[in-house]
Structure 1
Amino acid sequence: MLRVVLAHLAFRKGRTAALVSAVLAATLCFTLLTGSTSTSRLAVTGTVRSNYRPVYDILVRPAGQTQALERSQNLVQTGSTDSINGGITLQQWHRIEQIPDVAVAAPVAVIGYTMPTLQIPLDLSTALTSGDGSPQVLRIDQTWTGDRGLSRMTDGPIYVYATDHKLLPWSAYTGADGAGRYAPQLVGPDGRRTRICPAWQDYPRDASPFMPDNRQDLVCWSTATAKTAGSQVPSDWTSQDTYPYVSIGWPYPYLIVAVDPDQENKLVGLDRSVVSGRGLSEADKPHASTITMDQFEDVVRPGERQDDRKLSLTQLPILLADRPDNDEQLHLTVSRLPASAARQVEAGTMQDQLFDTWRATRGTVLQERDMDVADVHGKLIRQLTSGPYVDRMLSPVGTTASEAWATGPNGALAPMRQRNRDYWDSEPSGITVHGVPLLAGGDEWRALTPHDGGSLEFDDHGGLVTKAVSAQVVGEFDPSRLSVARTLAAAPMDVYAPAAATGADDASRKALGGRAMLPTGYPSGLIGRSATMITTLDALPLFHAGYSGFTPEDGKAPISAVRVRVSGQVTADPVSRERVRLVAERIRAATGLTVDITAGSSATGVRIDLPGNDHGRPALALAQPWVKKGVAVAVLAAVDRKSLLLLGLLLTVCALFVANAAGASAAARRHELGICAALGWPARHIRGLLLAETLAIGMGAGVVGTLAALPLARLLDIQLNTVDTLLALPAALAVTLVAGLPPAWRAGRADPAQSLRPAVLVRSRARSPRGVTSLAVANLFRAPGRLLLGATALAVGIASLTLLEAISGAFHGAVAGSVLGDAITVQVRGSDRLAAAATTLLGALSIADLTYVAIKERAAELSLLRASGWPEGSLIRLLVTEATGVGLLGSAVGAAAGLALTRSITGQLPAQVLAAAAATAAGGAVLAALAATASAQALRRLPTVQLLAGE
């Protein structure tokens, strides 16, 4: 038997080579794809492990804080730290600390916003002309921008009247409306005095603080007395200024939060992020100081007696962020108005009339200047650290509520506008018109609640400052130096970074310039702010007892969230996950609070459709990073399912491909095996002969394929492990054995007389074809076995490609949508593409092999057509048309089978799988035509004369 097998293999070198090529290709594909899948899985597992643990493992929030979207999609909203205003008691926090396996329990209590207005002096020395003594009026136009330059609003202008005449200090008088006013007096050349530049009164309560007309101002300057007078000058009206300037008011919100210094240092290394001064400690507590009025205002009046009244002031220890967390700019334009404007001032024209006249007056531009919030932040740090006590006042304080959401028709969140006029207009807020951030008008998405505090109250004997809180800056910290996990793992409630949103579509990304959208200079915007002022928990009673607007419950439960880190190493293994789950269960049972496991989480973009505003910003589609829980576990489970499905699919494709080659080999030897049966060979000998040949080919091709896979793996950067390499040879033998059984069984059962007849279907009535296409169609049905074999081979390839797309799509759908998941899909994309390329290669080889076998079986027929005058091109076109027909049939059947398998495995038919099935089916017919074209070149080597002589 062995000699017969070897003789058959040597005699039929072409058919042997074809079968060897099939097994070799299958072995290579199996080895490389198994290695690629294993490499991909190891990479995914490594990525998950290195990004499994965020800065804390468990987040504890007040009961009832979760939103409907969080519950339905397993999310936790980020960027809402400033909107959780208490709800956890100190006793509950201490109870969490005492739970076994809790290494760190770091509380954070949101106190609220303080919004100082920094006065930035704008030097006008170079803008004023000198020498002729003519009075002048300058106009300073202010344009605020935010939202990456998309929001733009022109503020009310500031006017400066400058003269060489004497200007007396402000004095009180009664205006025409009976109201008390203050104004300086201009002394003319004739000695006549005229009141000019009256102190600007509060805007009417029925008018909007966001209207530029309500924010205009007039400042007067005299070179004779070096005096700036107007509503923006300091309370020291008698001080002398040596240069002309105006004060540009820039309101700047600071979010104050209280932490436990020891726990915060353990959790994020707050002490290690200090860049100036020192960090907070447990010894830092608010304390009262007794100071004089002169110390409070830092005012020295030459020639005057010092104010020695004693004041009591509470100083609050503060650790200050060294950089801003928002995006805001100011553009200033200084221009000179015509000389008539100065004459109108000197005539004592009412201020309202001056503004109405000057609004439409064109001036000559003298200079322009741009300022960024980073410049302001640096000045504010210097004011809070080295300025007088009055500049370090932390007043007013307000708190925000969470955004109110509506769900749009596309499933995106749509924020609902809030009206905070009660906050900006309220007396407790203490904010003047120039302290109202202009860009907030019409673009507020969080409700604001004012808290009355920080006012100065004196008794008849010099009084006490009863509610004044002053910042005692102990140091500055750099948020980027904190030990917050800046990896693919994300923790919600990031206290130290705003939840910046990016564009969710091309138009929005282009509008934002490819940058993230940051908070703007007001606390009620869409993007929540980070903590820029850190104090200790000992400060909480000071605010809750001394400020109105806080409820008794706020004082009882002042903590907003507790971030818990479990002791020991926490990884993605089941033991660690169970340990974290048990700690979370114990916290929930002990406190009754909302508990979320954040280990294994990752950021995911939640679509938010932000409407346009009145400041020029268009409607934007934003992706705000919320945190999706359990991403890491879902990724590991999905990659295991994907690896298993890919391996099963690969084995199936390889087996059917080799079966096609083995079947074609048996069909090519149909007459030979019939003769053997006619000579008396028993069926078992014929079957044994075919199986022995197939196994011999499988053994040889398996060895060669395994050896050839080693250099190819290095070339493709695939790491083959020992198990994958050793499995290749037995897999090749198993595949060839399974593939060779059906044709061997059929050959053993075949009737010798039937085997000697032509392999065509006998038709009752023949029709004469009229062209190449009709002849090709007729030929398809002459040999139904060959048609079924070819269509089945291609159908398997098409079904495999469709199923492969479904497997990859299901995997990507299971893990995509988060930062970690998106990174994983990039890592596994290489193995997916390799699997698709291998499946396509096997399908192409099947079609090529089928066409080659057809040429061999019909050699005499094709030679007769050539001898009767058919050109070579027509014969090739005939074979290609036949193959295309087989391709169309196989593609249709394969696409339908792939969709059915997809539905049975995944339970659904995603749109991308339907599209892939259609594209694969169309490509199958094209692939069949191309493969047939390549194999049809064997026609040129047919010995026509010998074949016709044999016939």
Structure 2
Amino acid sequence: MIKMAWKRIFNRKMHSMAAILAMAGIFTIVPLGLYVAKESKLTVEETISQYGRGSYDILVRPAGARTPIEKKLGVVEENYIGDGSGGISIAEWEEIKKHKDIEIAAPVASLGYFAGNRTSVGLPLLEHPARFTWRFFTSDGLNKYPIGEPNVVTYFEGKPMEYVEYYAPRNSTVGFMGIRMPQNYYLLVAIDAESEGKLTGIDFSGLNRKIETGSQEYMIIQGLLEGRGNVPVIPVLKRSDLNIPLYLSLTVEELDISLSEYKKRFGVKPDEPIFAVDPELEQDLLEALNEEPALSRKQYDIDLSSFQGPFDGTYVELTNDFQVVKGEGGPLANDTAIYYTASKIQYDIGDDLIRVAKVKDEQPPLYKEVKQQGKSFLEDFDAPFMLWQMGTFTPLSKKDELTSSPLGIYSTEEVKTMDGTTLTPTISPGSFIAAPAAGVTTLEAARIIKGEKPIDAIRIRVAGIQSYDQEAQKKIEKVATDLLKKGYEVDIVAGSSFKKLEMDVEGIGRVTSPWTTLGVAQSLTSRWNAVTLTMTVLLALFGLLYLSSRLLYERNALSEENKILLTLGWQKNKISLRNRLEQQICLTIAFMIGILILFISPFNTNRSIYLAPFFLWLISLGSAWILLNRNSKPVPGGTAYKKWASIFYYRKLIIPIMLVLTFSVILIVIQAAVIFSSILEARRTSLGAFTMDAAAFFHASALIITLLLTILSVSEAMNAILNERKAEFQMYHAIGWTRNTIRRHFGKEVSAWAGASMAAAGAMSLAILPLLNISIGWILASYSCALILFMILLTTMVCKKI
């Protein structure tokens, strides 16, 4: 019997070869698809395990601290601490530190925007009398905003190294040969130097520096304190790499005036300074000087930004050619007990855009409500404290990190306009850009300034975690749950990543701003786990369906031959045995070819890849034994059908191909929609983009394999039905039908049953894909592509074969 099966295989060389190759393709492509789905999942998991953890794992804040934009979009600002109002006490932080699974608990408290030491810009001593008119400006990187009103000072004739008399309005910002800089304000935050150092790697030891008794610094501080009631000194470490956007617009006019003549004209004695003029004549003197005609005029726009850092105003001088140089000495004012606090920005979250409106249309504009706090030493000698700079700190150079653990105070991520212009915070506390901390102080200082519950957030690093895997996630979730039970606002930031959000800022236009998206790693992992499970199930079922359909085609094709053998005296069991042996031999040959292809493929190092074709082979042998042991029931020849007679007559051939086509469309739609939507969603964050890049080969391979599998299966199913009806089409031709007429006739049938299959596939895709959080847009787009693909494939086959 085996010999007869082999003989029949050889007698039908072309048919047998096509069948063996088709089945070998299934034995190869299905395992490859399963392997690629598995490997893409492993790639995602390994990438997240390696890169998914940032500097800390859990963000703890007071209850109710979550902002509306966090609730709606699941994102937090990089410098989210900037305008916090506190809510956690130092004692509560000490309690959190004691948790056995917490390695680091680093608190941070926003104290507000504080002024630093105030100094001046030294004007050059020119060889002639001159009138200087100036105005300071700040900038957000796009626009410049004036600070205060224009000021003017007139210098009379003089000699180098001598006192040169000048005149300016009373209470103006003018000192001897210099003009006082405007008051700038810088964000000050409080930290615990030890835990913050462990978390960030930054050296904050300067906060605890001892000032030597008798040193010049000690004497300056004591001198300031004696006139201020010995108030507490707030130690400050300033950030060394920040500069203040400050510009000076200066007009210099040469004058032809005489000091002696002006003294005589306004009744000032020759040995007295010009500003000793009678107060009632001050305005007349000022107007006379301002009306003096200029012999020449020059305009200078001077950038002071690179010289001005937070808290310690740097005295600078203008040379005679109006270049800026760092000066020596210079006046210094310390009025640091007055500060400002700002509210959180009220984002208008629309369906497609985030909008930021001005709170006050000032120069520069305010996008937050700003309130003055503290007292000025110039107005009240009972001011509560004095700031003093103890040194500097420098954040570590930022790597191109994939994860984002928003520390809340250090980020200098760029906010840009749509044309690429980089925006910066202004000197005002009300900028829409979340400013990084310009200085840090101690928690004790925070308690003096802010009260008993100064802490805005605690950044927690969980102990005993080496990589960000499933076990790590469970441990982090357990600690987070413990903290949540204590009433805190808790966010897991491990596995978070950067994301650019587009905002429409009033007065500036559209900008992109960096935010942190929480839970990116978890969503990537869960999304790809669902994708892998779905594709594994679909590929396995598709392989089984294809093999079963092919055996049904063979059974139908053998029905006439079986009748002849019965007529010749063969027993039914002998006929069934011969048919089963033939198919089992073909299946075995196809299985061996598939194994050989897998062996020489790049994936042969993974032994598990051979399990899928082995199980498919066993199942197909069992299916062949069952299906070919049952005779196909003949279709009654006398039944009349009003419509679609051919479809009903050949339904046993058409139903399998409809099932194959339905599954093919579903497979393509799900594969394409899941992959492309996952890539698009993932690319919105830096970790997601890197993860998708790492798994790009597997994603592309999965889609290509799916396309090959579906094209192969549908093509072979169509060939089977066309071969079965070959005699019918020859008869149509013999009675006078043209080839185009036959094509139209058969094309209508194909359109009917193929359309029904595709409609069913579309309905099933719409039922399955929303469970994977795939949008309707992606489903419809993928379905449309699959529809076009199979329409082209079926039309080509009809035109080519008929």
Whether contact under 8 Å (2:81, 2:109) holds in the other structure is no
Among 175, 178, 189, the residue aligned to 1:257:
189
Shift of 1:456: 7.9
Q: How does 1:812-823 map to 2 (within 5 A)?
A: 818-823=685-690
Among 615, 619, 630, the residue aligned to 1:731:
615
Comparing 315-324 with 665-674, greater Cα deviation is found at 665-674
Q: Tell me which amino acid in the other structure corresponds to 1:440.
A: P
For residue 368 of structure 2, what is the aligned residue in structure 1?
445
Alignment coverage as a number of residue pairs: 768
**Structure 2 SS opposite 1:526:** coil
1:815-846 deviation line (CA, Å, top 9, x unaligned)? 67654344444444543433332232233223
Q: Tell me which amino acid in the other structure corresponds to 1:280.
A: G
Matched, 1:522 2:440: no
Comparing 523-532 with 604-613, greater Cα deviation is found at 604-613
For residue 750 of structure 2, what is the aligned residue in structure 1?
886
Comparing 914-923 with 665-674, greater Cα deviation is found at 665-674
Shift of 1:215: 0.7
CA–CA distance in 2 between the matches of 1:356 and 1:745?
114
Matched, 1:280 2:241: no
Q: Tell me which amino acid in the other structure corresponds to 1:473.
A: M
Whether contact under 8 Å (2:133, 2:150) holds in the other structure is no
Shift of 1:229: 4.3
Q: Tell me which amino acid in the other structure corresponds to 2:528.
A: V
Q: How does 1:595-614 map to 2 (within 5 A)?
A: 595-603=489-497, 605=499, 609-613=503-507
For residue 911 of structure 1, what is the aligned residue in structure 2?
777
Among 501, 505, 511, the residue aligned to 2:419:
511
1:229-248 deviation line (CA, Å, top 9, x unaligned)? 436999895x5x5xxxx648
CA–CA distance in 2 between the matches of 1:932 and 1:397?
85
Matched, 1:102 2:102: yes
For residue 344 of structure 2, what is the aligned residue in structure 1?
403
CA–CA distance in 2 between the matches of 1:36 and 1:701?
21
Q: Tell me which amino acid in the other structure corresponds to 1:796.
A: F
**Structure 2 SS opposite 1:63:** coil
Q: Tell me which amino acid in the other structure corresponds to 1:219.
A: V
Shift of 1:268: 1.4
Shift of 1:859: 4.9
Matched, 1:219 2:127: no
Q: How does 1:657-676 map to 2 (within 5 A)?
A: 657-676=546-565
Comparing 317-326 with 699-708, greater Cα deviation is found at 317-326
Q: How does 1:205-216 map to 2 (within 5 A)?
A: 215-216=149-150
For residue 14 of structure 2, what is the aligned residue in structure 1?
14
**Structure 2 SS opposite 1:104:** strand
CA–CA distance in 2 between the matches of 1:887 and 1:232?
94
Select the structure with the greater relative contact order (CA < 8 A; seq sep ≥ 6).
Answer: 2
**Structure 2 SS opposite 1:835:** helix
Shift of 1:446: 4.1
Whether contact under 8 Å (2:103, 2:460) holds in the other structure is yes
For residue 794 of structure 1, what is the aligned residue in structure 2?
661
Whether contact under 8 Å (2:134, 2:249) holds in the other structure is yes
CA–CA distance in 2 between the matches of 1:867 and 1:451?
105
1:768-822 deviation line (CA, Å, top 9, x unaligned)? xxxxxxxxx9977774544444444323211221233454477669867654344
For residue 565 of structure 1, what is the aligned residue in structure 2?
461
Q: Aligned in 2, Cα 1:576/1:295: closer, same or farther, shift over 3 Å? A: closer
TM-score (norm 2): 0.80
For residue 159 of structure 1, what is the aligned residue in structure 2?
none
Shift of 1:587: 4.5
Shift of 1:602: 0.7
CA–CA distance in 2 between the matches of 1:855 and 1:353?
105
Among 450, 471, 483, the residue aligned to 2:388:
471
Q: Aligned in 2, Cα 1:36/1:805: closer, same or farther, shift over 3 Å? A: same
For residue 437 of structure 2, what is the aligned residue in structure 1?
531
Q: Tell me which amino acid in the other structure corresponds to 2:506.
A: G
The gaps in structure 1 that reach 5 residues or longer are 156-209, 299-307, 421-437, 459-464, 503-507, 545-553, 767-776, 940-951
Q: Aligned in 2, Cα 1:579/1:291: closer, same or farther, shift over 3 Å? A: closer
Among 755, 764, 779, the residue aligned to 1:900:
764
Comparing 701-710 with 906-915, greater Cα deviation is found at 906-915
CA–CA distance in 2 between the matches of 1:351 and 1:27?
102
Shift of 1:372: 6.8
Q: How does 1:739-888 map to 2 (within 5 A)?
A: 740=624, 744=628, 748-750=631-633, 783-808=650-675, 818-853=685-720, 856-857=723-724, 859=726, 875=739, 879=743, 882=746, 886=750
Q: Aligned in 2, Cα 1:531/1:488: closer, same or farther, shift over 3 Å? A: same
Q: Aligned in 2, Cα 1:283/1:216: closer, same or farther, shift over 3 Å? A: closer
Q: Tell me which amino acid in the other structure corresponds to 1:917.
A: Y
Whether contact under 8 Å (2:677, 2:778) holds in the other structure is no
Among 305, 308, 313, the residue aligned to 1:376:
308
Matched, 1:709 2:603: no
For residue 396 of structure 2, what is the aligned residue in structure 1?
480
Shift of 1:704: 1.8
CA–CA distance in 1 between the matches of 2:432 and 2:625?
68
For residue 186 of structure 1, what is the aligned residue in structure 2?
none
Q: Aligned in 2, Cα 1:664/1:61: closer, same or farther, shift over 3 Å? A: same
The gaps in structure 2 that reach 5 residues or longer are 267-281, 317-325
CA–CA distance in 1 between the matches of 2:467 and 2:621?
44
Whether contact under 8 Å (1:117, 1:252) holds in the other structure is no
Q: Aligned in 2, Cα 1:650/1:898: closer, same or farther, shift over 3 Å? A: farther
For residue 161 of structure 1, what is the aligned residue in structure 2?
none
TM-score (norm 1): 0.69
Whether contact under 8 Å (2:25, 2:594) holds in the other structure is yes
CA–CA distance in 2 between the matches of 1:338 and 1:679?
131
Shift of 1:393: 2.6
CA–CA distance in 2 between the matches of 1:67 and 1:286?
46
Whether contact under 8 Å (1:87, 1:557) holds in the other structure is yes
For residue 235 of structure 2, what is the aligned residue in structure 1?
317
Q: Tell me which amino acid in the other structure corresponds to 2:359.
A: Q
After superposition, the CA RMSD in angstroms is 4.9
Q: Aligned in 2, Cα 1:734/1:74: closer, same or farther, shift over 3 Å? A: farther
Q: How does 1:610-689 map to 2 (within 5 A)?
A: 610-613=504-507, 617-618=508-509, 620=510, 622-628=512-518, 630-689=519-578
Whether contact under 8 Å (2:32, 2:609) holds in the other structure is no
Q: Aligned in 2, Cα 1:56/1:540: closer, same or farther, shift over 3 Å? A: same
Identity among equivalent pairs (%): 17
Q: Aligned in 2, Cα 1:36/1:311: closer, same or farther, shift over 3 Å? A: same
CA–CA distance in 1 between the matches of 2:744 and 2:284?
95
Whether contact under 8 Å (1:86, 1:558) holds in the other structure is yes
For residue 586 of structure 2, what is the aligned residue in structure 1?
697
For residue 406 of structure 2, what is the aligned residue in structure 1?
492
CA–CA distance in 1 between the matches of 2:470 and 2:227?
68
Shift of 1:398: 2.5
**Structure 1 SS opposite 2:56:** coil
Q: Aligned in 2, Cα 1:114/1:653: closer, same or farther, shift over 3 Å? A: same
Whether contact under 8 Å (2:211, 2:217) holds in the other structure is no
Q: Aligned in 2, Cα 1:640/1:847: closer, same or farther, shift over 3 Å? A: closer
Whether contact under 8 Å (2:132, 2:250) holds in the other structure is no
Q: Aligned in 2, Cα 1:865/1:561: closer, same or farther, shift over 3 Å? A: closer
Whether contact under 8 Å (1:488, 1:820) holds in the other structure is yes
Q: Tell me which amino acid in the other structure corresponds to 1:916.
A: S
CA–CA distance in 2 between the matches of 1:578 and 1:266?
24
For residue 505 of structure 1, what is the aligned residue in structure 2?
none
Whether contact under 8 Å (2:48, 2:469) holds in the other structure is no
Q: Aligned in 2, Cα 1:779/1:313: closer, same or farther, shift over 3 Å? A: same
